Amino acid sequence: MQSSAVPELAHTHARPIHWMATATAVAGVVALSSVLQPDPATAAAPAAPHTKNAPAQTLPPPDPADVGFPLDCGPVKVVVKKQASGDLDGDGRPETVAAVHCDAPMGTPPDGVYVLTQAADGTKPRVVATLVDPKDRTNVEDFAVRAGDVVATLLGYSSTDVPRCCPDVRETVKWRWENSAFVRSAPSDARSV
């Protein structure tokens, strides 16, 4: 049996001349690449998209003291009972929700709950929505702005026979900005107190 030998190939043996040729070729490529650089990039990075959630400036929430509320209090002044602020409509600017009533010397005056906004140019704040009308004869026990919702606990009366000093109905309500209006939702757990 005769073994067949594979002839030696010249490129399978590394000789010093091969290493020298490889090193010279790599050095030439590096030197050439440093001379033949492309022109500097002239395109700017794309600007961040302008969204209505990123206002140009941050304004403080509207101050209820700067607003004329739609209440007829006669000779007494309007009192801001409670207030809370947050971005209710998703425009990146805060709104203020204020519970107000007339400063009556006796009795329990009904509350009104109003949403205040202010334009980006810092003009005077204004009332943009009435969540609770004082004509409803209710009082706000508590309210807050949470994750874009206005949540309130309202005290009211089951009939006209109930004395105005002693509300007998407690109701939890929530409003959310939807389709350009505040929509009152029904987590209403009205119950007698």
Q: What is the pLDDT of residues 13-30, one digit of tens each?
A: 566 675 666 666 666 556
Q: In this predicted structure, what is the pLDDT of residue 51?
A: 45
Contact 96, 85 (CB under 8 A): yes
Evaluated on CA atoms 159, 69, 173, 183, the torsion sign reads: positive
Other beta carbons less than 10 A from residue 73's beta carbon: 16
3-state secondary structure (DSSP) of residue 143: strand
pLDDT (tens digit, 9 = 90+) per residue, 86-130?
A: 999 998 899 999 999 999 888 789 999 999 998 877 788 999 999
Has residue 153 been placed in a domain? Answer: yes
The DSSP H or E segment spanning 86 is strand 78-86
Asked if residue 183 is part of any domain, the answer here is yes
CA–CA dist 192, 155 (Å, integer): 10
Closest to 84 measured CA to CA, from 55, 59, 108, 64: 64
Whether 33 is covered by a domain: the verdict is no
Is residue 119 in some structural domain? yes
Give percent of the chain above pLDDT 70.
Answer: 66
The predicted-structure confidence for 43-58, as pLDDT tens digits, reads as follows 444 454 544 454 445 7
Residue range of the domain that includes 185: 64-192
What is the C-alpha separation between 43 and 188, in angstroms, rounded?
57
Q: What is the pTM of this model?
A: 0.66
Query: Of residues 172 and 24, which shows the higher confidence score?
Result: 172
Give the pLDDT score at 29.
Answer: 55
